[in-house]
Structure 1
Amino acid sequence: MLKRLSISNYALISSIEITFGSGLTIITGETGAGKSIMMGALSLLLGGRADTRVVRDKAAKSVVEATFSANCRLQPLFEASQLDWDDDEIIIRREVSSTGRSRAFVNDTPVNLKTLGDITTSLIDIHSQNSNLMLREPHRQLEILDALADNEQLLAEYKAAFRSYVKVRNALQNARNEIAANRENENFLRFQVSQLDTLAPKAGELETLERQSEMLGDAEEIAANLSHATRLLDSGENSIITKLAEVRHTLSKVNFRLLEDSGEDSSLLQRLESVYVEAKDIAQTLLGMAERVDSNPAQLAAVEQRMTAIYDALKRYNAAADTQLAEIHQSLRKQLAALDTSDTDLHELESEMKEKGRTLRAAADRLSDTRVRAAERFSDLLTQTARPLGMSNLKFAALTSKGKLTPDGQDNVEFLCSFNKNQELMPVSAIASGGETSRLMLSIKAIIASHVALPSIIFDEVDTGVSGDVADKMGAMMRDMGQQIQVIAITHLPQVAAKGQQHYKVFKADDEEKTVTSIAALDYEQRVAELAVMLSGSSVDQAAVMNAKSLLDKSNKK
């Protein structure tokens, strides 16, 4: 339910705030007073386009804010959008600057316009004369039947089955396309796999080969240097290790205790021993490395041949490294394997699609059954509801027929009607006038409101073109809807205005500088005065006042 609406710095509105209650709320005012301005401001909360021309004071922002009672059905959407949830109320705000920047907030958290619209369209429904065009759209007609059919669970099951079927169907089509493409290139594919099978590329192999090639290419020089270093360390009387042994033997004869730093004797000898042992170990290591270096021209040629083959393959398959080449090899093998088993895979996918198709068709039939029953019931209900609204000869039929499977089912729906005796049924889009369509839509809203939980509804002058007894019945219908949901009606008809539990008047006032639109809640006496003006025009006499009071009192007793 819409609890509060505040609008500031918007067109002719400087600042207004309205508190709404349950039931039927009436808004009246002279033509041009600013009722449509209010609807324009409210449409911003539904994600409507922001126009900088509505910013009254260019130095400030236009702000529209509405507070709604929380609807628990929206909690999953709030959680999915990472919005704070309040069990009591939802606050929606839209801000527009003179530069064209627009921002939207839900419970003080910024949101995009899609999220804003998803939320607010579940909270409020603005129904104007332009909205009557929806009655002529087939998918809207289907939505009406679904609302009465109470088939939400069946519709969800059908949509899930449809998505599953489409997924398998697409997989089958993709598999067929891929197999067809592979069949065209089968010989070339087999040639590529054969080449790569022979090459057998491995990730990281090229780096190892390059290291081996470098070592084999310099083998003689490496072996000579290692041998020379070994001889310097440990070969002959003048080798480093021989000299270290002589130094060690000589120092062992020195009595270091006679020197001032007598504590150094053992330390020096230990250090020298460590150098000697390390030198011996290095000499042995170098000798072993020299022995392992193999100057093998045949092996070098084999390594270089392998490297050339890999380099050629990298260029041929447009691969940056041997890792990618190995991946290409595996991918081509998989394509060839898929080609070899393609008939089996296709058969499995075809069988799965047939099974999914049977499941989908069964779900579609169950959904269709609910719509057929709802169509019959809806035809009777709408005829009974709309005939008292000045359409006594109305005949109406909601026809369903089965067609192609779509995301919404297999059903085609068409609303047919006639408004005169001896007139055959024809599509609503071809026969109904604007006023007749308005009354049909009001009747439909009334029927749906008695069956499912609708959001708050604002009727924006849907009663245009009617008067007298028909207007009184339309007002009564809105009042009865108000017992189920919150209804706000903008009207020029006193018969409708008298039916409200609350009544607001929109008016314009001038000061020395500007014209300002305001709104005021009317008490009983003010409502009588407003109804008297609506009944008689600018010249209000005592008879008009008495008629207004009678109309208001009569409506309040019902």
Structure 2
Amino acid sequence: MLESLIIKNYALIDDLNLKFTPGLTIVTGETGAGKSIMLDALSLLLGERAETKAISDKSRKSVIEATFSSPSPELSKLLTDNGIEWNSAELIARREISASGRSRAFVNDTPVTLPVLSSITSNLIDIHSQHSNMVLSQSSSHLSIIDSFAGDAELLGRYRREFSEYVALRSKIKRIKEQIAKNKENREFIVFQLEQLDKLKPRKGELRQVEQEFDMLSDSDQIREDLGYAYNCFESGDRSINALLAEATESILKVNLDIFGDKVEEELAERLENLRIELKDITETVYDYLERVDSDPGRLAKVTARMNQIYDAIKRFKVMDEDGLVALHAELRGKLDSIDNGDGDLEEMEKQARTLAKDLKTLALELTGIRQEASVRLSELITETARPLGLQNLRFSVALTQGKLTADGQDTADFICSFNKNHEMQSMGKVASGGELARLMLSLKSIMAKCMNLPTVIFDEVDTGVSGEIADKMGDMMRRMGREMQVLAITHLPQVASKGDSHFKVYKTDNETRTVSHVRMLDKEERIRELAAMLSGKTINDAALLNARTLLKNVGKEQK
């Protein structure tokens, strides 16, 4: 259950620290006093979006913190799975919002994402806001109510996972079919391009080789002349470089060089020999290049033609180089193969889709069976629970209809009812008044809270649209709910407020700079005066005080 709530720097609330007790807790206060602010703050702990405009003092952050007792075994597993430390005594959820809009969430001081925070706190508390009655009148919400009552979350989760897989597969099949159709339209052009590239036979690195050979062949005469002259300098005649080096070496070695120092002759002889070997190697290399230069006009023509073919193809196919031509060649072959042989992969995917569809249908039928059984039980319980609230002639049923498969199965649900004898049952949204919706919602909440094992339920003016005896009976129902779970009820009706085990009053005051909301727990006498004010208005008379005491006394008698 909700043990405590701390709210700091949020809207009209400056610093609030409330302690809660089991049973039915009543919250009252004038319109605009700040009751809804408490719920808005609690909603942040359920994962609702935070707005910076709710921060009253922009110099400090806003903090909302709730302490809950005794997490259930299911929740304990969820905490463990998310790496959150906990003990069996309590759980603390906290949300912090900075003036810059940054929001952080914590569970037991462990940072968590909003989805994780929501998944945890939604197992601890349920808030029935003022617009929930209208949601009940919308058939789009009815199937989820049936599922919650049926407890089919595991089966529904399995169905939704397979449905998501099926939708993704069908989408992929559609894209492939569209691509195949598009490719078939382009097949003739692809074949034409392939024929050109097949004829060209591009190879990686070929263009550089061709360009080098072209440069050599186109300047072969000049190259031969220059290399020939160089070779002659190195090798031909008595005055060649090699011959002169030999003569110079012979003359140097005639001298006793050791007179210039130890090992001078040996070292110089070694250097001269290395020079001779290097010059000989250079000479042979130049000769090799000279031999490779071929002045062949026919070969030059072929190389020029090949080079131009590659240049033309690069330009025509809009690629960067010959490597791009090679890659395009492979890509086009793949496309053609996909066009001509792609139906095999598509056929396999179609087979998978048919298998998935069959499995989905089986799961959907299983869901339908569970929902039909749950619909009968829920209809009986709502009728039984709501009749004491002044709906003696209520007839309630769930119309389940089957159609095409969706993310929720094959079913759609519509709550149909009649509130008067001999009246045809119709969709709830068409026939239910505001007061009738309020009573049906309270009945539904009392049923759902039990089956979902919710420890805390909060009602925000669930009694809207009713008064007098009906309000008294709705208060009795909330009080009975409080014996099995913690119930917090915000109300403007004294009949409901008198049923509480504890009673908070929300009020606001003005200081020099701003209006501030406060909340305090009322003692017995304060509670009598609050009920009297609710009965008579601002001017509290003796009759109102007597009526207030009578209301509380009657509740005490019922308790005994």
TM over 0.5: yes
Q: Is contact 1:379–1:397 with CA below 8 Å preserved after alignment?
A: yes
Q: Is contact 1:7–1:17 with CA below 8 Å preserved after alignment?
A: yes
Give CA-to-partner distance per residue, 1:444-491, whole Å, 9 cap, x none.
122111112447432111112334443343234334444555432111
- The structural deviation recorded for 1:379 is 0.9
* Matching of residue 93 in structure 1 with residue 92 in structure 2: no
Segment drifting more, 322-331 vs 381-390: 322-331
Give CA-to-partner distance per residue, 1:7-38, whole Å, 9 cap, x none.
34444333222233454332112333221333
Equivalent AA in structure 1 for residue 313 of structure 2 = A
Give CA-to-partner distance per residue, 1:365-408, whole Å, 9 cap, x none.
11111111111111111111111112111110001011111111
Cα–Cα, structure 1 residues 205 and 372, in superposed 2: closer, same or farther, change >3 Å? Answer: farther
What does residue 399 of structure 1 align with? 399
Give CA-to-partner distance per residue, 1:132-187, whole Å, 9 cap, x none.
12213333111111112222222122112222322332233223222222332332
Q: Is contact 1:3–1:66 with CA below 8 Å preserved after alignment?
A: no
Aligned mates of 1:315, 1:455 — CA distance in 2? 74
Aligned mates of 2:238, 2:22 — CA distance in 1? 115
Equivalent AA in structure 2 for residue 403 of structure 1 = G
State the secondary structure of the residue aligned to 1:506: strand
Equivalent AA in structure 2 for residue 243 of structure 1 = L
Aligned mates of 2:103, 2:471 — CA distance in 1? 38
Q: Is contact 1:398–1:414 with CA below 8 Å preserved after alignment?
A: yes
Q: Is contact 1:256–1:264 with CA below 8 Å preserved after alignment?
A: yes
Q: Is contact 1:129–1:438 with CA below 8 Å preserved after alignment?
A: no
Cα–Cα, structure 1 residues 255 and 360, in superposed 2: closer, same or farther, change >3 Å? Answer: same
- The structural deviation recorded for 1:112 is 8.2
Q: Is contact 1:449–1:484 with CA below 8 Å preserved after alignment?
A: no
Question: For 1:547, which of 524, 547, 550 is the aligned residue?
Answer: 550
Equivalent AA in structure 2 for residue 233 of structure 1 = F
State the secondary structure of the residue aligned to 1:518: strand
What does residue 332 of structure 2 align with? 332
What does residue 357 of structure 1 align with? 357
TM-score between the two structures when normalised by the length of structure 1: 0.88
Cα–Cα, structure 1 residues 484 and 296, in superposed 2: closer, same or farther, change >3 Å? Answer: farther
Aligned mates of 2:83, 2:348 — CA distance in 1? 47
What does residue 277 of structure 2 align with? 277
Q: What is the total number of aligned residue pairs between the two structures?
A: 549
State the secondary structure of the residue aligned to 1:102: coil
- The structural deviation recorded for 1:419 is 0.8
State the secondary structure of the residue aligned to 2:362: helix
Aligned mates of 1:423, 1:62 — CA distance in 2? 56
- The structural deviation recorded for 1:352 is 3.1
What does residue 238 of structure 1 align with? 239
- The structural deviation recorded for 1:64 is 4.0
Cα–Cα, structure 1 residues 200 and 546, in superposed 2: closer, same or farther, change >3 Å? Answer: same
Aligned mates of 1:243, 1:428 — CA distance in 2? 118
Q: Is contact 2:50–2:97 with CA below 8 Å preserved after alignment?
A: no
State the secondary structure of the residue aligned to 2:143: helix
Q: Is contact 1:104–1:110 with CA below 8 Å preserved after alignment?
A: no
Equivalent AA in structure 2 for residue 500 of structure 1 = G
Aligned mates of 2:230, 2:77 — CA distance in 1? 79
Equivalent AA in structure 1 for residue 62 of structure 2 = V
- The structural deviation recorded for 1:196 is 1.7
- The structural deviation recorded for 1:285 is 2.1
What does residue 225 of structure 1 align with? 226
Q: Is contact 2:28–2:492 with CA below 8 Å preserved after alignment?
A: yes
Equivalent AA in structure 2 for residue 218 of structure 1 = D
* Matching of residue 131 in structure 1 with residue 132 in structure 2: yes
Aligned mates of 2:491, 2:476 — CA distance in 1? 13
What does residue 267 of structure 2 align with? 267
What does residue 505 of structure 1 align with? 505
Equivalent AA in structure 2 for residue 137 of structure 1 = Q
Aligned mates of 1:296, 1:454 — CA distance in 2? 95
Structure 2 gaps of 5+ residues are none
- The structural deviation recorded for 1:300 is 2.8
Q: Is contact 2:84–2:110 with CA below 8 Å preserved after alignment?
A: no
Structure 1 gaps of 5+ residues are none
- The structural deviation recorded for 1:356 is 2.3
Aligned mates of 1:74, 1:193 — CA distance in 2? 63
Q: What is the RMSD computed on CA atoms of the aligned residues?
A: 3.2
Aligned mates of 1:294, 1:381 — CA distance in 2? 104
Aligned mates of 1:214, 1:114 — CA distance in 2? 69
What does residue 65 of structure 1 align with? 64
Give CA-to-partner distance per residue, 1:98-136, whole Å, 9 cap, x none.
xxx422111278888778767765654332231212213
Cα–Cα, structure 1 residues 165 and 487, in superposed 2: closer, same or farther, change >3 Å? Answer: same
Q: Is contact 1:230–1:286 with CA below 8 Å preserved after alignment?
A: yes
Aligned mates of 2:91, 2:449 — CA distance in 1? 22
Q: Is contact 2:475–2:497 with CA below 8 Å preserved after alignment?
A: yes
Cα–Cα, structure 1 residues 48 and 540, in superposed 2: closer, same or farther, change >3 Å? Answer: farther
> Which structure 2 residues correspond to residues 345-384 of structure 1 after superposition, within 5 A?
345-384=345-384
Cα–Cα, structure 1 residues 4 and 299, in superposed 2: closer, same or farther, change >3 Å? Answer: farther
- The structural deviation recorded for 1:426 is 0.7
State the secondary structure of the residue aligned to 1:387: helix
- The structural deviation recorded for 1:328 is 2.2
What does residue 150 of structure 1 align with? 151
Aligned mates of 1:262, 1:508 — CA distance in 2? 110
Segment drifting more, 380-389 vs 155-164: 155-164
Aligned mates of 2:61, 2:439 — CA distance in 1? 35
Aligned mates of 1:483, 1:231 — CA distance in 2? 117
Aligned mates of 1:118, 1:307 — CA distance in 2? 68
State the secondary structure of the residue aligned to 2:311: helix
> Which structure 2 residues correspond to residues 29-40 of structure 1 after superposition, within 5 A?
29-40=29-40
Give CA-to-partner distance per residue, 1:265-314, whole Å, 9 cap, x none.
21111112111111112212222222223333333322322222222222
What does residue 253 of structure 1 align with? 254
- The structural deviation recorded for 1:3 is 4.2
Equivalent AA in structure 1 for residue 159 of structure 2 = Y
State the secondary structure of the residue aligned to 1:26: strand
